[in-house]
């Protein structure tokens, strides 16, 4: 019934997505669907720049604090669940606003995935072991013999995509190349307006640097220490992807005596900048985004929010 378009606000980290989405939600009485692979985990707050509780209380946010660290949740899960959730929201006659920067989550939701099988933890673990013992070369040659086309798209060094490609062969009994013949298509009929927040690179990097400093002031180190203690064993096994997150892994390194605190914090800024660059590359080259200048102050946010409201109501 309510088939109004859904506003998507994406962009690199620290570009101001959350604030803008919050504003639009307030103005429209909408709810926010977070497309963020890390904010979904409880206990990862400061380092993921999760919206503060005041915002979470004022506007309903989905996919925030919904999982325990270590619980599986993937881009595929997000793509299907988020579409379901948006439908539910729309059925209540409420606008849904998607906001986030997790590249593959967004692509999955907006463009869908081919009919590839989900990852199987057992197969995955076995392949990772094999990778460690026999080396990437061996696995690469195997992939090359079964699915030369896919092999050509990746390089023989160690790569997640190599493992995933082999995993698919084991689970599905056929190759990625074959499965991707059926083009990716979204499994829903939601209409999206995809907007991206952009700003000069130097400004973005400056915002990132300052945000990192702010996180430290807000208690990031303590937060990381709690996680480090609680997930000591998982960290040793390197099994929990949620913990391989910028803002935490650098501090874990520090706690383990591999670097001093100053270096660690500098690296957080640096890795966040690197990440922002990767996001930008992905969004520009893979998704169809209408880019907007990111508002830099309160009144700018209000003004842009107003404009966006018009487009979805």
Residue 156 CB, nearest distance to RNA (Å)?
A: 9
**Residues in contact with RNA by the rule CB under 7 A:** 13, 36-39, 47-49, 73-77, 80, 101-105, 107-108, 113-116, 118-119, 124, 128, 153-155, 157-161, 163-164, 168, 180, 183-184, 201, 205, 241, 244-247, 270-275, 277-279, 281-282, 284-286
Residues 6+ positions from 167 with CB-CB distance below 8 Å = 119, 120, 123, 124, 127
Residue 311 CB, nearest distance to RNA (Å)?
A: 26
Is the Cβ of residue 5 or residue 74 nearer to RNA in the bound state?
Answer: 74
Is the Cβ of residue 33 or residue 309 nearer to RNA in the bound state?
Answer: 33
Residue 151 CB, nearest distance to RNA (Å)?
A: 12
Structure tokens at 225: 């220490």
Residue 268 CB, nearest distance to RNA (Å)?
A: 9
Is the Cβ of residue 28 or residue 34 nearer to RNA in the bound state?
Answer: 34
Residue 121 CB, nearest distance to RNA (Å)?
A: 8
How far apart are the C-alpha atoms of 230 and 224, rounded to whole Å?
10
Is the Cβ of residue 28 or residue 41 nearer to RNA in the bound state?
Answer: 41
Is the Cβ of residue 73 or residue 192 nearer to RNA in the bound state?
Answer: 73
Contacts 24+ apart (CB under 8 A), 219-227: 219/46, 220/46, 220/47, 220/247, 220/251, 221/251, 221/261, 223/43, 223/44, 223/45, 223/46, 223/47, 224/47, 224/248, 224/251, 224/252, 224/255, 225/251, 225/255, 226/43, 227/43, 227/44, 227/69
């Amino acid at each position: 019934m309510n088939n109004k378009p859904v506003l998507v606000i994406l962009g690199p980290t620290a570009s101001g997505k959350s604030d803008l989405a919050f504003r639009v939600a307030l103005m429209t009485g909408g709810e926010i669907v977070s497309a963020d692979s890390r904010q979904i985990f409880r206990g990862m707050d400061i380092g993921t720049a999760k919206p503060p509780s005041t915002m979470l209380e004022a506007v309903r946010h989905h996919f925030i604090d919904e999982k325990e660290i270590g619980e599986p949740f993937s881009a595929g899960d997000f793509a299907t669940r988020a579409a379901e959730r948006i439908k539910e929201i729309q059925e209540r006659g409420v606008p849904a606003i998607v906001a986030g920067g997790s590249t593959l989550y967004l692509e999955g939701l907006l463009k869908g995935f081919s009919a590839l099988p989900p990852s199987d933890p057992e197969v995955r673990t076995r392949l990772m072991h094999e990778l460690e013992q026999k080396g990437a070369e061996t696995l690469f040659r195997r992939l090359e013999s079964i699915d030369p086309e896919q092999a050509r798209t990746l390089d023989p060094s160690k790569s997640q995509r190599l493992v995933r490609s082999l995993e698919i062969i084991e689970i599905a009994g056929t190759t990625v190349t074959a499965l991707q013949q059926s083009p990716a298509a979204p499994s829903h009929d939601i209409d999206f307006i995809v907007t991206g927040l952009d700003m000069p690179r130097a400004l973005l990097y400056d915002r990132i640097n300052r945000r990192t400093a702010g996180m430290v002031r807000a208690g990031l180190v303590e937060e990381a220490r709690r996680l480090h203690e609680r997930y000591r064993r998982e960290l040793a096994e390197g099994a929990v992807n949620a913990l391989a997150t910028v803002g935490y892994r650098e501090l874990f390194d520090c706690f383990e005596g591999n670097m001093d605190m100053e270096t660690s914090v500098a690296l957080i800024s640096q890795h966040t900048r690197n990440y922002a660059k990767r996001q930008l590359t992905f969004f520009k080259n893979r998704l169809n985004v209408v880019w907007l200048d990111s508002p830099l102050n309160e009144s700018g946010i209000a003004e842009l929010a107003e404009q966006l409201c018009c487009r979805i109501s």
